[in-house]
Chains A and B, each alone.
Chain A
Amino acid sequence: MAKVILEMAQITKTFPGVKALDNVNFQVEAGEIHFLVGENGAGKSTLMKVLSGVYPYGNYEGDIIYEGKVQQFNKIQDSVDVGIAIIYQELALFPDLSVYENIYMGNEVKYKGVINWNQTIVKAKEMLDKVNLKVNPETLIKDLGVGKQQLVEIAKALSKRVKLLILDEPTAALNEDDSENLLELIKALKKQGITCIMISHKLKEVVAIADKATILRDGQTICTLEKKKGEIDERTIIRHMVGREMNQIYPERENKNIGDTILELVNWSAYDTQLGRAVVKDANMHLRRGEIIGIAGLMGAGRTELALSMFGNPKNYKLMGNLALNSKPQTFKHTSDAIKAGMAYVTEDRKGNGLFLLNTITKNVSASKLSGIANNGIINTNEEIKVAEHYKKSLHIKASSIEQLVGKLSGGNQQKVSLGKWLFAGPNILILDEPTRGIDVGAKFEIYSVMNTLIENGMSIIMISSELGEILGMSDRIYVMAEGRITGELNRSEADQENVMALATK
């Protein structure tokens, strides 16, 4: 048996109100490729942050035993010093600096404090050879594709004599060829004795190169599967990922009133010019009157991007394909056009781009439809107050008065204000992006009930959610996305946790 390079024993990490990791045990042998698999929020990234010292010693319970010693990392540099390197999905490179400057950033080749640039370049070349990247080290990072940038990150890690390399969803932003390359490289690094921990949502990769895979669910280790024992296959992994009790209760609803198609997407693609890749690819989808469709998928699957691309395209994606409302083709130049056409989008990030936190409930609720409380551009304050009082009452917003600042409300009540703001705009199509993220069970149930009332009154809802239970419990139909594509459509009756997850990891 190979020697154990890393053991994380009974790691518990709590954030205010949530236990992100609960007695996690995790063992990695030297020279293996070990995958960490789990749903969004299962605790994979938190675990890796504990390991790399982002959460310093004392901030969590349990022990990290690395190369036979209990380690106490107080900062990231401490873990780097012993040969642990972590590469995040969001690359930490400086786009306007060259490849060699990036590789030796923070680890400069110097003599008495003066940098020897010639030697830096020579050394950088060696590192680039190791990762099999054939570019001039003087190239600027921004002139490289994402795949090559990733290799530069790995070269940077190698320059620090890494023994344990952690990659957080390294292939999420890569195309097929680049992904293939990266996986080959990781196998090659393994031969050189480098141990690798990878977080991935793509089960194909796990099956292809993993020696072991540890599955996390709700902050707990479920099991570790081994290739030697023939345990690693997609079905088994999925079974362990989702095997959760359905303990959330959803309000009863009869979906008798489903009507004609109200929204249709045909071959819909969105290209993000800033990221330089397509975020939505060839999506075909329809929504009928009085229906809730759920859009399931893992982080980065392109669900929010799909919603924004339909809702007036505020991110200025390059769009292709057709969007039709009531069979009429539409091109929205601005979010205001989408609102006029009867759409509403309740954001997943209510504090970031949903609410005006320094303003009162009143002013937030009216913001999406100021024309509704104004005559000739002059605001009728009495009317506005009536509107705000109406939504405070009907959505059970708990606040001392409608004059309270939204920033001082609890998450659940902020979400209700956000919902009220969009209901006042009077939409036919309501897009809810993670409608119950970060709010308590009571408020969740209230929001589900509101959704049911709305569709009974003929509204149609698109619900984006990372919570499988919510997707299965609330949707009439489910679309599953992965890597910008719609990988499947399921009816309420045929959907279960396993087939949704299988499509999400396709």
Chain B
Amino acid sequence: MNLLKETSQIVKDNIRDYGMYIALVVIMVTFNVMTNGTFMSSRNISNLLDASGYIAVLAVGMTLVIVIRHIDLSVGYVAGFLGAIAAILLMQQGLSVWLVIPIILVLGIIIGLLNGFLIAQLGIPAFVASLAGMLIFRGALLQVTEGTGTIIVQDDLFNAIGNGYLPAIKYFYNRHVLTLIIGAIGVVLYVVSEMKNRHDKTKYNFDVMSLPIFLIKLVFVSAIIAYITWILAGYNGISWTLVIVLIVTMVYHFISNKTVLGRQIYAVGSNPEAAHLSGINVKKVTYMVMGSMSMLAALSGILYTSRLQSATTTAGMLFELDAIAAAYVGGVSSAGGVGKVTGAIIGAIVMASLTNGMNLLGVGISYQYMIRGGVLAGAVIFDVLTRKRGK
């Protein structure tokens, strides 16, 4: 009985954090039942994750942008434009992939710093500055693809980024062994870090959840990691896209939680004046966040071009809105200072699952937009309501 009470208390206290996980599980289970198991099949889940990669990396950057109370509408066409530049460098200039990727990322950073200049230095509202960027890069994308139309990329190494998988090494009962090993490592790392965390907290006499609940949580999350790797291992295993998304997530998670820069970003977001008075350089933080955003837009452009194996004239259209939606579904708050990188990833998966599930069910595109809009509104309403209660 006590166990139940504590569980419900924990859920209540952390409803903001847990809300989207609960939503994700509900969505997945519902679609799985309605599609008689097709939704959770190895092939479908694998496709779903790979197809949401280029939005997920944008959502990660967008979360930090929204945390510091700005917005970046230019990311879609920056991704489209830089994706096209990547294709041109590869196909028309004949540069190697190892050269093209860093060039594109650096170009992204430069574009981001220009945005930062407009916003931090000149004080132009981010909405307007990035709207201008959106138009400019839309034009730039058309300009560079005008002569050739769609640029087909014939470079196996580059195309593997969006379509390739980790080598299997071996198959075990038809399962991808390397994927299983990575999954196992993931479970071990998770368990060890949670135990260390708990140990530290006990050392400082902080409240920790009771042992049985803690164990249940460990088993539950481990089971989910194991289940997902098991599913992925049943198809082609872990894709390079997924590897990239995981690395981006881990790096950004680390930066936002464990570094001085991360602390400064959240400080600027929660109270810019207090941050300034605390000696934090608000302009510098703005430059960093905008720079990182456009770098991730460049990465998104690479992922998208590679996945399609071509650069098209319309690449990047509405990416920014998908990324913003994913960030909000993932729990970022428009009031600033609140939002997690991991949340953005979950948000991106939630939105991708909705699209994917509704496609499997044959829901008309008109309804799909309405439902996704409803989910976005619902997520923000949820955020506002839980924040009110918190006060």
Contact = CB atoms under 8 A, between A and B. Distances in A.
A164 interface: no
A359 B270 contact: yes
B101 interface: no
Interface string A380-391: 011001000100
Contact of A367 (B206, B207, B259, B263): B263
Given A356-B270, A357-B270, A378-B258, A370 B277 contact: no
A382 B274 contact: no
Contacts of A425: 279
Contacts of A367: 263, 267, 274-275, 278, 280
Contacts of A377: 259-261
A426 interface: no
Contact of B200 (A336, A339, A352, A382): A382
Contacts of B266: 356, 359, 363
A355 interface: yes
B277 A356 contact: no
A149 interface: no
Contacts of B259: 374, 377-379
A403 interface: yes
Contacts of B183: none
Contact of A339 (B262, B267, B273, B279): B279
B52 interface: no
B263 A353 contact: no
B337 interface: yes
A345 B279 CA distance: 10
Nearest to B268: A356
B41 interface: no
A295 to B, nearest CB: 18
Contacts of A334: 279, 281
A353 B273 contact: yes
Interface string A386-428: 0001000000000001010001000000000000010001000
Contacts of A385: 204
A260 B203 CA distance: 45
A421 B276 contact: no
A335 B276 contact: yes
B300 interface: no
A171 interface: no
Contacts of B279: 312, 334-336, 338-340, 368-369, 425
A368 B279 CA distance: 6
A155 B321 CA distance: 50
Which has the most chain A C-beta neighbours within 10 Å: B200, B204, B279, B280?
Answer: B279
B274 A353 contact: yes
B280 A336 contact: yes
Contacts of A421: 278
Interface in A324-380: 334-336, 338-340, 345, 347, 352-359, 363, 366-371, 374, 377-379
Given A359-B270, A403-B206, A335 B260 contact: no
Contacts of B338: 358
Interface string A50-72: 00000000000000000000000
Given A368-B279, A378-B258, A379-B260, A353 B271 contact: yes
Contacts of A338: 279
Contacts of B391: 407
A251 interface: no
B264 interface: yes
Contacts of A370: 260, 263-264
Given A353-B271, A353-B277, A358-B270, A401 B206 contact: yes
A374 to B, nearest CB: 5
A259 interface: no
A95 interface: no
Contact of B274 (A312, A354, A378): A354
B260 A356 contact: no
A356 B258 contact: no
A368 B281 contact: no
Nearest to A352: B273
Contacts of A311: 277
B277 A335 contact: yes
Contact of B281 (A336, A369, A371): A336
A401 B264 contact: no
Interface string B209-242: 0000000000000000000000000000000000
Contact of A358 (B262, B264, B280, B337): B337
Contacts of A193: none
B277 A363 contact: no
A314 interface: yes
A60 B62 CA distance: 50
Nearest to B274: A353
Contacts of B260: 370-371, 374, 377-379
Contacts of B204: 385, 389
Nearest to A418: B274
Given A335-B277, A347-B277, A355 B271 contact: yes
B278 A368 contact: yes
Contacts of A374: 259-260
A382 B266 CA distance: 20
A356 B335 CA distance: 13
Contact of A355 (B263, B274, B276, B280): B274
Interface in A297-340: 311-312, 314, 334-336, 338-340
A359 B338 CA distance: 9
A336 B276 CA distance: 8
A115 to B, nearest CB: 32
A381 B276 CA distance: 23
A314 B277 contact: yes
A389 to B, nearest CB: 7
Contacts of A314: 273, 276-277
A39 B259 CA distance: 47
Contacts of A354: 274, 277
A391 B107 CA distance: 46
Nearest to B197: A381
Contacts of A359: 266-267, 270, 337
Nearest to B263: A370
Contacts of B277: 311, 314, 335, 345, 347, 353-354
Max chain B CB contacts within 10 Å: which of A336, A367, A403?
A: A367
Nearest to A314: B276
Contacts of A353: 271, 273-274, 276-277
A312 B276 CA distance: 10
Interface in B308-349: 337-338
Interface centre among B263, B276, B277, B281 (most CB of A within 10 A): B277
A314 B278 CA distance: 10
Interface of A: 311-312, 314, 334-336, 338-340, 345, 347, 352-359, 363, 366-371, 374, 377-379, 381-382, 385, 389, 401, 403, 407, 421, 425
10 contacts: A314-B276, A340-B279, A347-B277, A355-B271, A356-B266, A358-B270, A359-B270, A363-B263, A363-B266, A377-B261
Given A335-B277, A359-B270, 17 more contacts: A334-B281, A335-B278, A338-B279, A340-B279, A347-B274, A347-B277, A352-B273, A352-B274, A354-B277, A356-B267, A357-B271, A367-B267, A367-B275, A367-B280, A370-B264, A374-B260, A378-B259
